[in-house]
A = this chain, B = another copy of it.
Amino acid sequence: MSKGQTRRLTKQHISSGGASGIFGEDAQVHDQSVGRASASVFEKLKQEYQKYQFRFRQTISKQEINEKLNSIDKRLGETLFVKESKIKPDGGIIEVQDKDKQWRVVLVSEAKFQGKDAENIKAGVLVGKNKDQELMVAGNAIERVYKNINEIRNFMLDEYHFPYAVFLQGSNFATKTVQVFKPDGSFVEIRHDSGAMNRIDRVTAANYCMQINCNYCKNIFIGHKNSSIMLQAASIYARCEPWKEDEMRKIMMDIANTSIGILNQLG
């Protein structure tokens, strides 16, 4: 079957505004899913560590981050333009109370969806301005993921752990090339090494380009001439197919457990 024939065949499947509708739904489902996983981790932590107090927050204010920074060094945490500025990671923030009654972060989670090519191909939807492409050139919205990572790094500058889980999902985050079948039985490849498709490289500065799909909750210290520097790496989980709520829950629980282990070691 020629490419032209395929195009004519699949064009009939396009529904009005289908593409953006699908994108919106998927992104929302993904966000809600990490929120549910996070809520479930919160409940499990309360059960497993009954002697500790936990709390769950949807947001942290910039004011609070500034106060923390300023308590570490007087030069830091001085600038705030909009009083009510806050950050809102998709899966919220889970904290535990230490023996000095201070709240310490044990888990922050975000979920980002980008690239709905697999869904479009399966549905036989063509995309692009003229609705004649099988694949959409990837966008760069994912680069916004760094903001909250940098905010939480600052908030946890005096800690030995950085429990930040990022779940990337969608055709822009395929870790291997995927064959997706069209309604007519032919397939389209979503390549993991295509500059037009893959956007994982736009996120990996957040984990110093270490392997992805690993728990980096424990900070790494590396020698720096006469001193040492602390690396706070995000734990980046990426793939084309949707993360299931239960998979996210397990990964997040593992990271929260690592946090508590590190906090306990410190006494």
A73 at the binding interface (Cβ < 8 Å) = yes
Residue interface bits A194-217, CB-to-B below 8 A is 1, else 0? 110010111011111111100000
Shortest distance from the beta carbon of A81 to any chain B beta carbon, whole Å: 5
Give the nearest-CB partner of A229 in chain B: B230
Question: Looking at the complex, which of A36-44, A116-124, A218-226, A254-262 is the stretch in contact with chain B?
Answer: A218-226
A2 at the binding interface (Cβ < 8 Å) = no
Q: Say which size band chain A's interface belongs to.
A: 35 or more
Give the nearest-CB partner of A207 in chain B: B79
Question: Is B76 in contact with A208, judged by CB distance below 8 angstroms?
Answer: yes
Q: Which of B192, B202, B211, B227 contacts A78 (CB 8 A)?
A: B211
A219 to B248, CA, bound (A): 37
Question: Is B224 in contact with A227, judged by CB distance below 8 angstroms?
Answer: no
A154 to B234, CA, bound (A): 14
Question: Is B81 in contact with A201, judged by CB distance below 8 angstroms?
Answer: yes
Given contacts A195-B85, A224-B158, contact A79 B209 (CB under 8 A): yes
Chain A contacts with B in 120-163, Cβ cutoff 8 A:
140-141, 143-144, 146-147, 149-151, 153-154, 157-158, 160
Question: Is A209 in contact with B146, judged by CB distance below 8 angstroms?
Answer: no
Question: Looking at the complex, which of A5-13, A15-23, A61-69 is the stretch in contact with chain B?
Answer: A61-69
Question: Is B143 in contact with A81, judged by CB distance below 8 angstroms?
Answer: no
Jot down 13 A-B pairs with beta carbons below 8 A, ordered by A: A65-B205, A66-B209, A75-B220, A77-B208, A79-B207, A81-B192, A82-B201, A143-B144, A146-B149, A154-B208, A157-B208, A227-B227, A227-B230
11 more contacts with CB within 8 A, not counting A62-B209, A77-B209, A79-B210, are A65-B205, A65-B209, A73-B220, A79-B211, A80-B209, A81-B193, A144-B146, A146-B147, A154-B208, A160-B225, A221-B227
